[in-house]
Amino acid sequence: MHLDALDTPAVIADLAVMERNIAMMAAHCREVGIPLRVHTKSHKIPEIAHKQLAAGAIGIACQKLGEAEVMVAAGVTDILIPYNIVGPLKVERLTRLAKRATITVAVDSEDTARGISDRARADGCTVRVIVELDIGTKRCGVQSPEAALALAKTVVEMPGLEFIGLMLYPSRLEARPFLERTLELLGAAGIPVRMISGGGTGAEAASKQLGCTETRSGSYIWEGMTRIGGSAMLNPERCAGRVVVTVVSLPTADRIIIDGGMKTFASYPPTPYGHIIEHPDAHIYGMSVEHGHVDVSGCSHRFRVGERLSVIPLHQEMTLNLHDELVGVRDGIVEAIWPVAGRGKVR
């Protein structure tokens, strides 16, 4: 089936571009000498995870337990969940998962660790644990090397947990003093560190320089507008994600309306909304919930109702998270329609 036979709005992946992005990142990490763990929250599709693993990734990261369950069911065997898993329902699912695959989970508090330990002990299994450092991101993570040591000691002592190492995000050289001091303290305490997980697309070399044992990257497969820095710097040749839309209204000479708005693109003001490949001079200046509003005053092209346009969304990950399927296209031909199997797995 040709792409033009799909109804709109449709979220598509240009497979040649996506595969090139996957291959380039794999090559980059090999050159740098850092093992790559792919963050699949960027797509939530097992088939794409398997392409990334086939290109050499050592495992995946999932931000939600529900996504990890989908990936284990699809045969992925090594998953890092860089998220504090809290609450009895979740820790039970975590230990079930840990019996089926190599699962590593981040913690930043004794409370989180104890919740997992209690359940793992009851279930007779062991969960691999890393301690998250807040290296200045000001999100989760322990605040000092001393706090990291204290939590690592606690984890080491808790039944059902295996202390594996450390995690940080994003990898940047400013993290070196925090990380090195933590490693010193752990070394002095005789606590071995087998894993240091850094992360952030574009931070692969920094992960290596920091001494990480792996780096987590996700959004590189799309190379969307947020990654590249806005439409002025956009290189559509690198962007694998598209939303195909239809012009549904031509109310005035300078305005067209497309059949995708906030519920299709997940874009809110004042961000740019997307880049129209066929007509870079057409400017998506606004979105209501179901309509995209496009200023075409700078275009010589005469648009018509029913015309189709290909839009690079601002943030492919957030866009895809609104949709149930991703259409894989090569040279204009539909090659795959993948359910976004991890979408909606919010817990």
Footprint on this chain of a copy of itself (rule: CB under 8 A): 7-10, 41, 63-64, 83-84, 86-87, 89-90, 108-109, 111-112, 115, 134, 138-143, 246-252, 255, 257, 259, 262-264, 266-268, 270-271, 288-291, 293, 304-306, 317-318, 321-324, 344, 346-347
For the bound state, the minimum distance from the C-beta of residue 138 to a copy of itself, rounded and expressed in Å, comes to: 7
CB 239, CB 229: distance < 8 Å: no
Nearer to a copy of itself among residue 87 and residue 211 (C-beta): 87
Nearer to a copy of itself among residue 9 and residue 165 (C-beta): 9
Nearer to a copy of itself among residue 8 and residue 209 (C-beta): 8
For the bound state, the minimum distance from the C-beta of residue 32 to a copy of itself, rounded and expressed in Å, comes to: 25
For the bound state, the minimum distance from the C-beta of residue 252 to a copy of itself, rounded and expressed in Å, comes to: 6
For the bound state, the minimum distance from the C-beta of residue 254 to a copy of itself, rounded and expressed in Å, comes to: 10
Residue at token pair 């930043």: 108
CB 225, CB 314: distance < 8 Å: yes
Contacts of 45 (CB under 8 A, 6+ apart): 326, 338, 339, 340, 341, 342
What is the distance between the alpha carbons of residues 122 and 132, in angstroms, rounded to a whole number?
Answer: 25
Nearer to a copy of itself among residue 90 and residue 283 (C-beta): 90
Burial per residue of 15-25, b for 16 or more beta-carbon CB atoms within 10 angstroms, e otherwise: bebbbbbbeeb
Nearer to a copy of itself among residue 236 and residue 286 (C-beta): 286
Nearer to a copy of itself among residue 86 and residue 228 (C-beta): 86
For the bound state, the minimum distance from the C-beta of residue 87 to a copy of itself, rounded and expressed in Å, comes to: 6
